[in-house]
Chain A
């Protein structure tokens, strides 16, 4: 079945460590996105990518980095510069950035906890 796979589902990190969250899609979608979810704040956009080897900062990019070397993959690195990294991270994709109004398809999420 086609879909978006995020791993790991749960991740614990010590302060000062970088961690990388994986996101893989087999939907043949051009655009991919990372959102951060905190209780009561909805989803906030971290980074997005329209095509391979290109990506743009979202609203809260500080302390995060991404790469888009393959169409199927859009990993997110949470660096030690991110002051409050504990959150639920959601990866999403869309056929293109404009198709269907930009309708997003989501993965199951990764919950990062900093100890």
Chain B
């Protein structure tokens, strides 16, 4: 079985400050990792994904994430946030085995960017 833990339910930050949203996963096999963003009353949009290769992954809107296999983490970072980044962010995992064939999501982190 696989699971995802997002350690912070809410993260308040001032505009132009850096931010890190934390994500840890648990799986008995190798995984693929994703970050999605959701604006109010909308569906989810892919920010970035790690499938293989470089552990530092760059995504849309200036976000990046680093896969750390030893710490089973995939934290999301942005060096300078904007008001428009206010949204809910979800970390998700899928496994490389032939068992569960759908993404497992964390509980989400609400990023609140203040002026």
Taking Cβ atoms with an 8 Å cutoff, the residues of A that contact B are 4, 31, 33, 35, 40-45, 48, 50, 58, 88, 90, 92, 97-98, 100-109, 111
- Does the CB pair A48–B34 fall under 8 Å? no
Minimum CB distance partner of B50 in chain A: A101
Of all chain A residues, the one with the shortest Cβ separation from B106 is A42
Q: Are B45 and A106 in contact (CB under 8 A)?
A: yes
A42 lies within 8 A of B90 (CB): yes
Query: Would B102 and A40 count as touching, CB distance under 8 A?
Result: no
B51 contacts the other chain (CB 8 A): yes
Q: Mark B20-42, 1 if CB is under 8 A from A, else 0.
A: 00000000000010101000011
Q: Write out the residue numbers on chain A whose beta carbons fall within 8 Å of the beta carbon of B36.
A: 106
- Tell whether A33 pairs with B41 under 8 Å between CB atoms, given A40-B9, A42-B108, A103-B34: no
Contact of A50 among B9, B41, B101 (CB under 8 A): B101
Chain A, Cβ-Cβ closest to B96? A101
Q: With CB as the reference atom, state the residue of chain B lying closest to A41.
A: B107
Q: What are 7 A-B pairs at a CB distance below 8 A?
A: A43-B44, A90-B44, A98-B101, A100-B49, A101-B34, A101-B49, A106-B36
User: Quick one: closest B residue to A44, CB to CB?
Assistant: B105
Interface string of B100-115 (1 = CB under 8 A from A): 0111111110000000
| Residue contact B101 to A106, C-beta cutoff 8 Å | no
Question: A43, B101: Cβ atoms under 8 Å?
Answer: no
B53 near A: Cβ within 8 Å? no
Considering the chains assembled together, what is the distance between the CA atoms of A41 and B90 in angstroms?
A: 11
